Structure formats: C-alpha cells, structure tokens
Structure 1
Amino acid sequence: MRLRSLEGRLALWLAFAALTGVLVYVGVTRWPLPQMVGWLHDNLSKSISQPDHTQAILICAAVLAPLSWWFAYIVMNPVKRLLRALEGAVASYRDGDFSISIALDRHDELGDLILVHNELGQTLREQRQNLAQRELLLDTVVQNTPVALVLTDANGRVAYANIAARHLFNEGRNLNGLHFATLIADSPEALRKATEGSEDALFSVEMDGMEETFHLSQRAFRLQGRPHRLQLFRRMTRELSRQEVAAWKRVIRVVSHELNNSLAPISSLAHSGAELARRGDVQRLPGVFATIGERARHLHGFIDGYARFAKLPAPRPVAIEWRPFLDALALHCRFQLMGEVPSQTGWFDPVQIEQVLINLVKNAHESGSVPEGVTLSLSVIGHELRIEVADRGPGMSEAVLAQALLPFYSTKRSGTGLGLALAREISEAHGGRIALANREDGGLRVTLMLPQTATTM
C-alpha cells in the first residue's frame, strides 16, 4: 500500500486520530489535568474533586468531537470538491460541451481519476471535431450534388432539402418545415403519382418546354427514433439520351455487319450466275440460286428476330399446370429435371416463358456442356417462382457476365445478341428479374425469378 494513496492517507489520519484520543484520555486521567486539579486544591483552597472515569470519558468526548469533525473535513473535502467538479463536467457533457477539464494537482487515486477524466474529455473533443468535419464534408457534398434530395418526417413535412431540391420544387427558396405533398400539389401528375408510391420509379414531366425524365429512389428509415422518408430525384434525360444513341449505334453496327455478310455473297453469286447464264453453263445455276436463297433466308430470319424483339407483346399471365407445361417444353429441348415440381400452379405467360426456357436450354447445350449436365429446377420461395437452368460448360468471365444481358451483345460468331436480352425483357415485363452466375463446381446458372399471385400460392 503506497503512503500517498487514499488508503495510506486515511490510515495515517486514523492513526493520528487514535493517538490524539489516547493523549487526551491520558491528559484527563493521568497528566496534566489531575496535577492541575491538585494544585488548585492545595494552593487556592478550591474544592475541585478529581474527575472520575465517567467524567473523564465525557471530557474526552467534548474535546475529541470537534477534532473528529476537523479530521473528517480534512479527509473528505478533496473528495467533495472532486465530486462537485465531476458533477459539473458530466452536466457539460450532457449539454454537448466537452471543453471542461478538472485542474486538481493530486498524486493518489483521485488524481488518477482526474487524469482519466481529462483524457476522456480530450478524446470526446477530438471525436466531436472529427464528426463536425465529416458532417461539414457530407453536407457540402449533399448540398452540391445534382441529385435533388428531400427528407420528410412522419407528418410529411420537409426536414432537409439540398440546393437541387430547392431549385426543383420551390424556385431556390428554403423547403424546411413545408408540407411536401402540398408543395407538389400543382406539379405534373406523373411526379405526384411517383411520390405517392413507395417503390422506385422512372417518370417524365415537361419542364421549360422540354420533356425531362427523372428517376425517383425512395427509402423509409428511422432517424432519432422517428420514421422518415428519403426521396432522391435524379435527372436521367441526358444519360438516357447517351444510352439511346449508344444503343442505336450498336444496332446499326450489328445490322450493317449482318447485312454485309449476307449481301456481299448474294451480290457475288448473282454476278457469277449471270456470267454462267451468258456462257450457257446452266447446270451450275441451281446451286448458285440455292446458295442465294439460303443467304436470303438467313437474312430474313435475322431481321425477323429483331422485329420480334422490338414488338414483344405484353405478357398475359394465366394459371399454369406444371406437368403439361414441362411435357410441351421437353418436345423442343432436352434437359434433366432436378428436384420436385411445385405443388401449386404457376402464374405467367406460357408462350413467352416457354420461349425463354427454350433459348436458355439451347444456350446451355451450345456452351459445350455434356447433355446430361443441362438441368432445369423449379421452386417457390415466398411469393416468387424460381426457375434455374444450369449447365456444366466453362461458364463466363466477369466481363461477359457484366454485359451478357445487354441487347446485341454476343460472344458467338453467328449470334445476334438477342437471346438473353429477350429473356431479360420478358422476365421484367412479368415483374421479375433474371440473373447469371458461375457455378462453384463449374458451369453457368441462369436464375429466373417471377412473382406469383396469392391465388396460385
């Protein structure tokens, strides 16, 4: 136990107090009080009797009581001062002020506590400063982003809006505290309908005599224990225009390539046929005409595929019994059915989904997979139908996976790049989605997710 610790100091004070008590008791019962009483009795003829044991204890108590209070004050005063300082510091922390430090020079446990407290205050000040800098950076980024951001509370009033939102909805004026629904009451119907829903949406409105397309992202969350709603309005007109131009360039490039591949041989064969007819060599003309017809049919099929992709009708979902559907599918392509067939009926357009599965199974066979490695599985997860077509081919690289679902993208020499794009178009028209992923043990898995109505579940 160190002497400068609280325990050491308290032990010294207790020892001092005990010694003081002993000295007082000895002074009252032994010396000098008895001698003083005797001297008064002998020299001044004062009839003062010697104190008995009880009187001695009372005299000691009368002397030691103020001494005890003084000792207690000396021992507890530093603790009381520290507690008051800590109380003030905690109150400051509660109010968000971390600038308080305790200036007490001690070298015991109280000093250690003061040191830890001051270090805590310094840490909190640094964290507050870093947090303030981050908040300033985040606010600067959010305020200057071109995406219009609107945060509303549970009552629909705007709690936060950046510069883009103020210019979009209130001519640059502040939006805080305004009711957002009232603010956009006179806005175009497409905007109001998009904000009334809870899902992301893409809508177009007329602004300054031009049509502007916006993408709306909406998220609900709790902020400080209260529900809030965040809405992000992003102008997509320029981006969509760039994507549209890029798509048209890709279409023109693919169509030009295919037309040249077909028209060049046809032109050459027509010239050869004319030359053979001029020389009277008619025996070789049927072969020339057959080749021209084959190239013309190929070109017709190519154009017809693009026409069907562009004119894809809206799906007409109906209740589907699985066994007849799978039997009809097996007449067009070969696959191994994995797992059990769902007991409940499906809900989709049978013609369109059959075409998707035929294309997927055909791609699986063309990947180089063994025939028995091409599998089809069906399952129902929640309110979604999951259809998987898998193979044991080489799979796809990350670059190909990222672009495989884009129209006109193909790694095949004679591919049109429409098979997977058509599958994506049909699945999204059903309200579903399609995903491609490499299998861990080799091969590719194509997953088709289609929403199912409550009546089919």
Structure 2
Amino acid sequence: MLPYPNQNPDFAFEQAVIGMAIVSLDGTLLKANTALSDLLGYTQQALTAGAQQAESIRMLLNCIVQNVKASQDHQQSINPFEHTYHHPEKHKLYLNIHTGIELDTEKNPKSYWVQLEDRTLHRQLMEQLEQKEQKLIEKEHTFLQLLEILPLSVLITKKGIVQYVNPAALKMVKATHPRDVLGISTDVVVDVSSHNDLIKRRMRYEKDGVIGSVNYLIRCLDGQEKIVSGCTIMVHYEGDTAALGIFKDITEQRMEEDRVMQSEKLTTAGQLAAGIAHEIRNPLTSINGFVKLLRSSESSNELYFEIIESELKRIELIVNELLVLSKPQGVHVSGPIEVLPILEQIITLMKVQAALKNIEIIPHYPDVPISVQGEVNQLKQVFINLLKNAMEAMNQGGTITVDMLRSGHNVQIVVQDEGIGMTPEQIQSLGQPFFTTKDTGTGLGLMITKNIIHNHGGTMNVESVPDHGTTFTIQLPAL
C-alpha cells in the first residue's frame, strides 16, 4: 500500500505533482488528480466518466489491473512497469507506473492506488543516445573495414598493448594470425635499440599531447630485423582512447639509400684521388728537381731550401684538409644548442686575426635566443670557415657583417664581405674538391662546410658580385 500523510489525504492526493489515481479492482477509474488530468489530456470529470470509453484509457487501466494480478499470482510485491500511452493530441507518452493496494477494515483488497510519472523526455534521450551509439558502432565497423584493406601496416594500442592489427601488419611482423600479436606489448616488437625513442614519444604525448612520426628498428616474430617508418594519432577504439599507428617497411629503401650513398662515396673518393694526385704531384716534382740540383751543386742555395719548404707545407695543408674531411660528419645530437653563444665565441676568436688585416667584423644579433639541433664543434667549424674565407678575400681590409635572424621555422646566418667577389661560373664550382679562388687553398674547407650544413638539415646560398664582395646565407631548422 502506498504511504500517504495521515492528515488530510485528499489534499495531498490533489496537490501531488505527479499523476495519481484510484482504480477499482475491476479496472474502473474512480478518482484522478489534476496532474493526471494534465498528463493524460482529459479533464478530471471526463476521466471518471465518459473518457474511460477511450481506447487509450481502457488499455492503460487494463495494464494496471493485469500487472497487479500477475504479481499476486507469483506471490511477490507489485513491480513498477512502463506503459506507452497514446495522447489524444496524437503523440506518445512513456509512463512509469507504480501501483499499491488499499485494504478495507477486514484487510481485504478494496482498490488500487496508482502513481503515473511521465518518462517521455528520458525515453527520447535514451533512444537518441542509442541511435548515436549505433552510428558510432557502424562508423567504427566501416573504419575497421578500411584498415583491413589498407596496404600500410596498422596497429592500435592501449597503454602500449596491441589491441588490433590489420593483415598488412601481420605480414610485416611475420605473424600468421592476429592472436600471435594481440595482447603483447609494443616493447616486444620494437627492438631494444629503439626503446628510448618509444619512451620519448610516450613522454612527449603525456607532456604536450603530440606523438609525431618516428623510425623504428623492429624485430619480427621469426627474428628478422626491419626498419619501419610511421606516424601515430589518437583515436577512440572500443569506447576508450587508443593510439593508432600507421607504418611502412622502409628496409629495402634504406638499403638502396645506403647503396647509393656508398656509390657516391666511391665516386667522391675517385674525384678526391684524382685531385690529390694532381695537387701533390706538382710540389713533389719541384722537390725532386731541387734535390737533384742540390746534389749536383757544390754550394748550398738558400732559395732552393725555401722552395722545398714551401712545397712541403702545401702538401701538409692538403693532407690536413683531407683528414678533416675523412672524419664522420654525421650529426651527433647533444640536445638543443643556442646559436648566439657559438657565433659570439667564433667572432671573438677571429677578431684578432681580422684586426691584423685591417678588417672589422660587425655582428647583428636578434633580441631572443634561437636554438637548433646539432653538434657544437661542427657548427663552430662552419662559422670559422666562413669568416676565414671572407677575410682571405679582402686584401685591402674592409668590413664583414654577420647577421643572425629568425625566418619562419629557420634560423638564418648571413656572412657578407667586401672582398674580390666571384663570377657566376666560380660560384657554380664552389664546394668541389680542389676548386678555389685563392692563391693558396684546396677548396676542401668549403666542401666540409657544405657537408656539415647538409647533415644538420640546412642549406647554403652564395651571392657574389666581382669586386664588390660575397654573401653566404646559411639556413638551419630552428627549434
């Protein structure tokens, strides 16, 4: 039996904010409150009189009686139930109905107390939610179908554990069935040598929400090693956030690049060998000739010794340049490097030598620090070579300006001299072994400079006007 206050139950019945009714044991509506009248679309008088002939009202009352009888037959309390009511204004209402039994003085059932709550809005929201969930499921299914036919390898992971692999990924790691890969950690697939890259990517995502692209060395299930390149994006998979990685096997590509690089190295070595033979043959011929003259001469000639010493120094210069060139020029990253302190050190170092030649070095620096990724000593070598070349091109003194500025995603270092300048043909030949515009030089210094800049992901541009000077512009990726 539904609880009601002992004082003035009729008042509580009438003023209740939810629909309330008293129904006879045979299903006749004996009493209805205002809230129920508003809910069902009939006046209170109509509900207890003619409206009971309406089909929607008859169906509602029949359901109430049947629910009570069904509960009594199973000797259990009366369960609430939901009922779809067809409103006279042609729309549906979803009602949640609670029923209790009123007893007479003999403890026999007298009538039913009924509470009717409008759950239409809640039901509509639930239906909309179900529809959206169904659409998401359909989209996810379509998405997975696309991944299945994608020729690139796709892995979906949650917290580093593989949740999905497409056929291309199975083929890449030499697996025969998804169960061979599902549930394992990416640490198992990625080779130990690439674990640091894996950890850095996870830390970067936790800090900045960015994952980015990466190259990994992976170990297939059959023990074979492969190099893969790919990128990762965050997606929703099976109701949770997951990482979707798309990878491509670049092992053959890397091998081909290595073969091309080796071929280029052999070609360069051949060019260097030819240049070395030519450059060293001349001083050796001079030395050989003067040694023969000395042997045949009864008195020593100081001029002969000076020439021999000069030619030997030239051979030493060539050998020293070749030793620098032979060192590995790969970028050994030591972390972000501020360019300004390095440039200041080199300018300070070169100012004394410049002053002896009546040359002034004028720097222009930005207001904010600019950093690049690279190796400190190699960048120092670049700046030394550029300033050294500029000074050697200025026999009459003058000014060298060094400008550093930020340009988009790059940092520009511009070295401009007032030297003898170069013709377009000479500019075209810069960087080739043993090509030089100076009286004493090998051309290897600029070749080394270009290699270092290239290995740092940068470019070098040269502009020059004969008798008016030369401008070297270096561009490096800025952090």
TM-score w.r.t. structure 1 length? Answer: 0.47
TM-score (norm 2): 0.45
Q: Which has the higher helix share?
A: 1
